[in-house]
Structure formats: C-alpha cells, structure tokens
Structure 1
C-alpha cells in the first residue's frame, strides 16, 4: 500500500514538472518545441482554503503591503518582461492578471472594496498611457490643456463638445477649480481626476494627447491586501490574501523614460496616470549587496522586508484591483521561474499564499478611516519604517500572547 502511494506521488510530481527531459533525450532540434512546457491538458486546482467560522477567529488584522519589484527576491513576479525571448510557459504575474480579466476569468475593480467594477472598455483604456499635451502659448496651435484655459474650465470645454454631465459628486470638482485644488482626500482626488480624464479622452481627438502603450516592464510594485487571523481550531496565526493590484509607472514618468536618451526613467516627477510610486533605480541595476536572503525567510513574517518603501509624496494606487480568491484558479496554473530547480516551478498562487516574497506594511485597518502610515507620520521615511515594524511586531506579539498563561 505504501509503495503504491509513493509511486502515485512520484508520478504526480513528474507530471507537473517542466519537460526538461525532452531537452536531454531528443536527437532532433525540431523536437525542442515542448522544452520547459507543462504537459498539455494538465489541470491543477488551487489548494482549497479551510472553512473558518467567526467563532474560531480569536483575533484578526487587515493589512496592506507593498511588494517592491526592485528587490531581487521579488524578481519572479516581475520577469520575464520580454516574453518573446524565453519559452512560452514563462510569463510575469501581470500577464496572467491582465489575461484573466480579458478572458472573463475574474473581474477587475477600481478599489479594494470591490464596489466599482471596471468595464471592458475602461480596462483597455487603463493599458494606454494618455496625457494631455500642455500646449505652447502663442504658437498658433490650440491643443491639450489650452482648450480648458480658453474655455475657462474643464466642464465648459467638454460641454461644448456635447457631453452631458450626470448629477454626481465628482462633477462639482472641476480640475481647474479651487475646490478641487483644496481637496485633501487623496483617494477622491485620484478618483475624480480619473473620471475627468476618461471623459476628456472619449471626446477630445488623439492629437490633444501624448500616448504610449503599457508594457510589462512598467509594473514596479504590487499592493497586497490581506487578513492575519488566529485560528482557534488550528491554533496558529494564518494569512489570507484578499486583494492584489499592480502599481505601474505614472504617465508622466512613462514619457520621461521614453524620452530619456539613456533609456532610464526619471522618477522625480509628480505622480499621475496610474499613481505609482517607486525608487529611483530601475530594477536592472539593483546592487548585489542589496540582495535579499530569500532562503532564510522561513517564518511568515520574516518575508516582510526591512527596506524603506514609504514615500509621503506619492500614493499606492494600483492600475486595478483583483479579488484574490477569484484569481486563484488562474494563478494556480501560472508558474514562476524557480532558480534553484527549473524542473519544479512554483505557481504564483503558491508563492503568494506561502508568502515567498518581500513586502512592507504601509497601512492597517484602523479607527481613523483606515488611514495609512504616511497620513500621521509625514516626511520621515525612517519613522514610517519603524511604524511599519511596530504593526508587524504587534501582530506577532499577539500570537505569542495566545500561549502565555
């Protein structure tokens, strides 16, 4: 009986591995098309989460973390950015998220509360960088923002193009008005500006915009919303990912990178477009001494990086949000590159659920409308990092307290 079980497990492991044996056994180069590919027709289901009742949850905390793709331990989520230079089975996480939304495997949302779903047309527009041209005075050509300056406001010009504004709150905050400039809620600023930009893009000609296509290399970070909870039945602290969203280059930074003769991004500009924030160095130039020791991160919390990743001047605004449990079916069949054993890749679902990544907490659910660390500790990256560690230690100590008598 034990021998049969052993053989079954062995065959299962062989079946889900990449076909490296083809490379070793073939005698013709024409037979190399299946190298490093998962066997066709293979279907793998994500491991079901255990059912949890409210009575079994002793305590729980909701946190938001930022995964910086500049960190080497997070490279499996970023690469390959050029999917045509490697075998067809190797694609970055963003590919599967976008493809899953496009193929209606799961929906995309504008927020992490999943109340505002993104339509198909809006989702395609998200993947195009569009920035209104600033225009040049006295050049005899009226383009971009000059139309609003001449009309006196965004609303006046858009109404002249035939747009009928709905009776909604965002309409009262014209981007050129004092009320909009004095709006302190950053989430509302991003939401309202996005809606004004969408109306402008749908009515104004392409000649009024600078445009560029979204590329996989534009993704610089991922935001992961999750719940830490102590299961009374399992008597252990567990993590359950709830939402994930890719943070990409802002439109301004995208064009700065495109126009840079050296090919490197100028990250000093203001946030816009997708609302991304990221470090000054591109991912290709990460110093060797900054490499994370991924093997030593066996504890769940050990994967939370101690690298500063909080910028008070920019928002953590993903291109879109995905309800993670809905995406598990797709991500369990999407494989990341395993540097230590190419024949045994890890699915993205396994990497995320087992927390094989480096991330920093930047917000936790709290009585202050879930404000993030930068709202009460501004312009001090060190103190922001220490506060992030305090939240991490609070959850860790809460688990330890469960074993105190």
Structure 2
C-alpha cells in the first residue's frame, strides 16, 4: 500500500513539473533557421500583468448624496521633471491616445465652441481619425503629376504629426464630497492635448485640440504601462498614475457664474497666485469637514 501511495505521489509531482512553463532563464536551445518566426522574450519574464489588466470600476455616486461639487480645469506641462513619465518615447501619452483613436478604442470629441457647447468640452461632436490628425499637423501643398511627369495641379494634404510638439495636456475634473461614503475625491472627466492656435497671423495661445472622455478611455489606459527613471518594474498603468494623482499641474479655471478663466482676470505671476488660491480653497473645504 505504501508503494502504491509513493508511486501515485511521484506521478502527480511529475505531471506538475511537466505542466509548468519552460524556464526562460535556463533556455539553451538554439532556434532553427527554418523555424516559425517567433520573437524571443525580451528579458527573463513575460510582462503581461498590465496588458491583461482591467480598470477598477468607480464607486457609484447618487446625486442626492453629493453635498459639494466643484469643477476645475488644470494643465499638465510635460516639460516639468515630475511629468517626464508622460513624455517618455517608450510610452508617450499622446501616442497612446492617437493609437487608440486610430484603432477605434478611444473616441475624440471636437473642442471647438458651439452655441450648445460654448466651452467646447461637453463631448458633443465626435471627430473622425483624419479630423483628429488635422488638428496637429499643418496642411502642405502637394503637386500632382501626370504619366509624363508633368505637373497638372496640386492638392492640400495633412502634414506629418510630431508627437514631441504636444507639451501640455488639459484636464477637466470634478471634486465631489459623497456623504454616503464620507469621501471627498476628484474624478477626472476629460483629457485634452494642447496645441498652438494661430488665426489671421496672430498667436492665440494654446488651446485644446480635442477632448477624450476619461471614463470611456480607462479600459485602454489600464493596459498601458508607464516608464520611470527609478524602476522598470513599476507595475503602474496610465490609469493608475491618473487615479493616484502622480503628476504636477496648475489650475487654469474653476467653475464660476461668469465662466471666466484665470487668465481672463489675472496676469503674470498673479495667475499662479490665483491658481494656488483655488487649490487651497478646495483643500480647506475637506479640512473643515472634520473636527480633530
């Protein structure tokens, strides 16, 4: 009986070993020239935790439970050291957004103001991928030639898009106090890459090129890992760093009856002071909710 037990245990142990995946660290089998072209693993373990990740659903909020809500618009400058992650050539934020739009996994909304959408950030008009590209690249004149090599005309085409030209993003978010959960938290509503606008030879400054509705984009952001200087195995996705607020930003607008931006009533360093005032006002509200 003991011999049968040991034999069965040895069989189970052997099957477990055979079922394990091959150890990539000790592989010494050369790849034949005529073998199927399969790329080897770039490293000693497969990095698929983030690729197979799913966005964690937000907690449901009832309107009746919202005691306080404040909408703010803030800008992220990728030239700041803390925001270098968002501009990394290995995992650039604008590249992820553009690839998502081209593949249909992400929807872009026009940022042009209309009668029903004065601010252009209400996600009212959907843009096609070619319309999105035209927001970044300047149009160029391309000559048309016939079979004999003679120029017969010309046409306008969208120039090449340079991802390094996008150095700022604008975020629209709501700060909400949910009395049901006793939680005061920010919820990102939309993200917009910024582009320089020129009209009639005048520089109108940087404006949102288009808007991405963040709740619908989380499924894609959750599968895109970020790159940092300190550790290659961060285990963080773009959805994680947005939720954890791992970025440096400054407020450019708060909801107000006149619908004014900070730069509409403050100039120079006063814009920074006003941005800090709005930030402190929001934090003070949370502080005053509790007594210590």
Shift of the 118–359 alpha-carbon distance from structure 1 to 2, 3 Å rule, reads: same
2:159 matched to 1:227?
Answer: no
SS of the residue 1:334 aligns to? coil
Shift of the 404–356 alpha-carbon distance from structure 1 to 2, 3 Å rule, reads: same
CA distance, structure 1, for counterparts of residue 29 and residue 87 of structure 2:
33
Which runs of structure 2 are paired with 1:247-266 in the superposition (5 Å)?
247-248=194-195
| Count of residues paired in the alignment | 241
1:69–1:220 contact (8 Å) kept in structure 2 = yes
More strand by share: 2
1:338–1:346 contact (8 Å) kept in structure 2 = no
Shift of the 326–91 alpha-carbon distance from structure 1 to 2, 3 Å rule, reads: same
CA distance, structure 2, for counterparts of residue 361 and residue 70 of structure 1:
17
CA distance, structure 1, for counterparts of residue 274 and residue 49 of structure 2:
48
SS of the residue 1:225 aligns to? strand
Give unmatched runs, 5+ long, in structure 1: 1-20, 81-89, 133-203, 253-268, 273-313
User: What is the CA RMSD across the aligned residues, in angstroms?
Assistant: 3.0
Q: Could you tell me the TM-score, scaled by structure 2's length?
A: 0.73
1:375 to 250, 260, 264: 264
- 1:132-160 deviations in Å (ceiling 9; x for gaps): 9xxxxxxxxxxxxxxxxxxxxxxxxxxxx
Q: Which has the larger radius of gyration?
A: 2
CA distance, structure 1, for counterparts of residue 180 and residue 133 of structure 2:
45
More helix by share: 1
Shift of 1:130: 2.2
1:66–1:221 contact (8 Å) kept in structure 2 = yes
CA distance, structure 1, for counterparts of residue 223 and residue 236 of structure 2:
9
Q: Which residue of 2 aligns with 1:106?
A: 106
Shift of 1:354: 1.1
CA distance, structure 2, for counterparts of residue 326 and residue 93 of structure 1:
16
1:66–1:223 contact (8 Å) kept in structure 2 = yes
Q: Which residue of 1 aligns with 2:9?
A: none
2:240 to 346, 350, 357: 350
2:50–2:236 contact (8 Å) kept in structure 1 = no
Shift of 1:118: 1.1
SS of the residue 1:213 aligns to? coil
2:74–2:250 contact (8 Å) kept in structure 1 = yes
Q: Which residue of 2 aligns with 1:15?
A: none
Q: Which residue of 1 aligns with 2:149?
A: none
Q: Which residue of 2 aligns with 1:162?
A: none
Shift of the 33–231 alpha-carbon distance from structure 1 to 2, 3 Å rule, reads: same
Q: Which residue of 2 aligns with 1:339?
A: 229
CA distance, structure 2, for counterparts of residue 230 and residue 127 of structure 1:
37
1:71 to 54, 60, 80: 80
Q: Which residue of 2 aligns with 1:397?
A: 284
- 1:104-127 deviations in Å (ceiling 9; x for gaps): 113101132011221343123234
Give unmatched runs, 5+ long, in structure 2: 1-22, 32-38, 112-120, 142-152
Shift of the 353–41 alpha-carbon distance from structure 1 to 2, 3 Å rule, reads: closer
Shift of the 40–360 alpha-carbon distance from structure 1 to 2, 3 Å rule, reads: closer
CA distance, structure 1, for counterparts of residue 196 and residue 28 of structure 2:
46
Q: Which residue of 2 aligns with 1:52?
A: 61
CA distance, structure 2, for counterparts of residue 99 and residue 42 of structure 1:
15
CA distance, structure 1, for counterparts of residue 77 and residue 30 of structure 2:
39
- 1:149-205 deviations in Å (ceiling 9; x for gaps): xxxxxxxxxxxxxxxxxxxxxxxxxxxxxxxxxxxxxxxxxxxxxxxxxxxxxxx94
Q: Which residue of 2 aligns with 1:271?
A: 203
Q: Which residue of 1 aligns with 2:183?
A: 236
Shift of the 25–57 alpha-carbon distance from structure 1 to 2, 3 Å rule, reads: farther
Say which structure, 1 or 2, has more relative contact order (CA 8 Å, 6+ apart). Answer: 1
Which runs of structure 2 are paired with 1:301-320 in the superposition (5 Å)?
314-315=205-206, 317-320=207-210
Shift of 1:92: 0.8
Stretches (4+) displaced over 6 A: 28-31
Q: Could you tell me the TM-score, scaled by structure 1's length?
A: 0.54
Q: Which residue of 2 aligns with 1:323?
A: 213
